[in-house]
């Protein structure tokens, strides 16, 4: 049975374009007995963003205020674009003082990756790559798979994800689990908001990117020296990636083969994470152990803050 939680909504990126989806998502959460706050975040509009840069930064910074009660879950409304515009305006010292060792789960993916990387790099705060209000809780059909993995990740001190997807490379490594949206990760290279993770297990996903764009962004991480410092890469879903006649057989499989030839570490595939209906939830900044072979892979995660 799912415990009743306080879920605070934040919208650091785009605004929700369909009020009906917002209503459906809120109704589902409330029907489960959760208390949802910050609903005004779904109503703000400024150009293509869910409010001005100042409004969106303040929404996160108020979590550093010791006079305000803390929620159990801080849930991103949606992705899009805009999080990078507020990174310089976040109160990292205040957030670190207030939230270190507190069981508050920041959850989201896509453009929310920028917030997650910045919180990890500047405040040492862990978060969760997982579902968002609009795309997941507000989906036409709520995914039992997504919900099961979401609550398991948020409430279990240790859990294991398994896949039967055959792997072309074997792995038996341990390290910090981190990552998210590839385009956002690439955009943070060379900034103070990219965590300096050593010996990590890096997971990546993206949406609507042609194979050559995926390869170019992975090369950016490689040429910046980030990939050579990791133990392994786990590739999630790259939904919406299209191959054209000009590509002449150059598809995502060819990209993965090329990446494997240059990075020097195992590249594991088949992680159900990204802009997909059925997705797992991954603690960002947790400790993980990855085993992979021709029969699939196992990813065991521990060391993340979890809800009691």
The residues annotated with a catalytic role in the active site are 110, 205, 275
Distance CA 259, CA 250 (A): 13
Whole-number CA gyration radius for the chain: 19
Distances (CA, A) of 8 to 62, 103, 107, 208: 12, 14, 10, 29
What single-letter DSSP state applies at residue 88?
A: G
Distance CA 306, CA 102 (A): 9
DSSP H/E element including 175:
strand 171-181
**Residue 240: which residues within 8 A CB-CB, separation 6 or more?**
207, 208, 209, 275
Neighbours of 296 (CB within 10 A): 15
**Residue 47: which residues within 8 A CB-CB, separation 6 or more?**
none
Helices (H), the chain: 19-31, 53-61, 92-99, 113-123, 144-155, 182-187, 211-223, 252-263
């Amino acid at each position: 049975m799912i415990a009743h939680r306080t879920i605070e909504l934040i919208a650091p990126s785009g605004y929700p374009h369909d009020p009906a989806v917002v209503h459906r998502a809120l109704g589902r959460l409330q029907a489960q007995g959760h208390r949802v706050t910050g609903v005004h975040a779904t109503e703000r509009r400024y150009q293509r963003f869910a409010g001005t840069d100042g409004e969106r930064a303040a929404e996160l910074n108020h979590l550093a205020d010791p006079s305000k009660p803390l929620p159990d879950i801080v849930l991103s409304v949606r992705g899009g674009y805009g999080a990078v515009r507020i990174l310089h305006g976040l109160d990292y010292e205040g957030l670190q003082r207030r939230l270190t060792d507190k069981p508050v789960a920041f959850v989201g993916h896509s453009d929310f990756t920028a917030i997650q990387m910045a919180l990890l790099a500047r405040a040492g705060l862990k978060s969760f790559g997982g579902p968002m209000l609009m795309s997941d809780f507000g989906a036409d059909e709520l995914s039992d798979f997504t919900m099961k993995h979401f609550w398991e990740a948020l409430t279990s001190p240790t859990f294991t994800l398994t896949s039967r997807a055959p792997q072309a490379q074997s792995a038996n490594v341990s390290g910090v689990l981190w990552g998210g949206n590839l385009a956002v990760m690439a955009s943070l290279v060379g900034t103070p908001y990219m965590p300096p993770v050593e010996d990590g297990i890096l997971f990546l996903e993206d949406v609507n990117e042609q194979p050559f764009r995926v390869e170019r962004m992975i090369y950016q991480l490689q040429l910046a020296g980030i990939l050579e410092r990791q133990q392994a890469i786990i590739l999630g879903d790259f939904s919406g990636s299209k191959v054209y006649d000009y590509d002449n057989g150059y598809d995502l499989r060819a990209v993965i083969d090329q990446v494997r030839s240059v990075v020097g570490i195992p590249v594991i595939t088949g992680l159900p994470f990204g802009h997909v209906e059925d997705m797992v939830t991954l603690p960002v900044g947790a400790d993980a152990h990855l085993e992979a072979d021709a029969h699939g892979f196992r990813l065991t995660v521990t060391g993340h803050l979890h809800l009691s």
